[in-house]
């Protein structure tokens, strides 16, 4: 039985921690927490009491945990928690300070093949965490 998943993700220059746990059959719920610097930014709790008697409950719960964990990753990457994590954007802009930074354009011959399917940033400018996150998010689309 899988007890949980933990991932540290670099997003907008900051490290976020996502943790998903199963409380077990006695208290059948899955909890996912999103942290930034030890502070909980978001949480999601899902009960599975209604399916406790299904065959192969351990595999079913593991899939539910994976789905909920990936959902929190997608929500983070979509920018849903930006204001909570970084504060309101400066007046006159909808971008975070990290997004306002400009990077040099890659050589034209590299730009097309290295573009992310879920992000306009060239792959060679993404951190390993961002590449993994893109892969996880794209796997469910």
- Residue 41 in 3-state DSSP? strand
> Mean per-residue pLDDT for 57-78?
96
How far is 88 from 70, CA to CA, in rounded Å? 25
| Parallel, antiparallel or unpaired: strands 29-36 and 14-22 | antiparallel
Which pLDDT value is given to residue 106? 42
Confidence of residue 3 (pLDDT cuts 50, 70, 90): confident
What does the DSSP assignment read for 62-86?
HHHHHHHHHHHHHHHHTTTTHHHHH
Task: Look up the pTM and report it.
Answer: 0.65
């Amino acid at each position: 039985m899988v007890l949980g998943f933990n991932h540290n993700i670099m997003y907008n220059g900051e490290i976020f921690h996502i943790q998903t746990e199963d409380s077990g059959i006695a208290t059948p719920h899955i909890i996912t927490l999103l942290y930034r610097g030890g502070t909980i930014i978001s949480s999601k709790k899902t009960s599975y009491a209604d399916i406790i008697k299904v065959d192969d409950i351990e595999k079913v719960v593991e899939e539910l945990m994976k789905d909920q964990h990936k959902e929190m990753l997608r929500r983070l990457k979509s920018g849903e928690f930006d204001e909570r994590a970084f504060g309101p954007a400066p007046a006159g802009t909808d971008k975070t300070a990290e997004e306002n930074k400009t990077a040099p354009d890659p050589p034209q011959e590299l730009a097309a093949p290295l573009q992310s399917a879920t992000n306009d940033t060239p792959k060679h400018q993404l951190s390993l965490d961002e590449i993994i996150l893109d892969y996880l998010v794209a796997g469910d689309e």
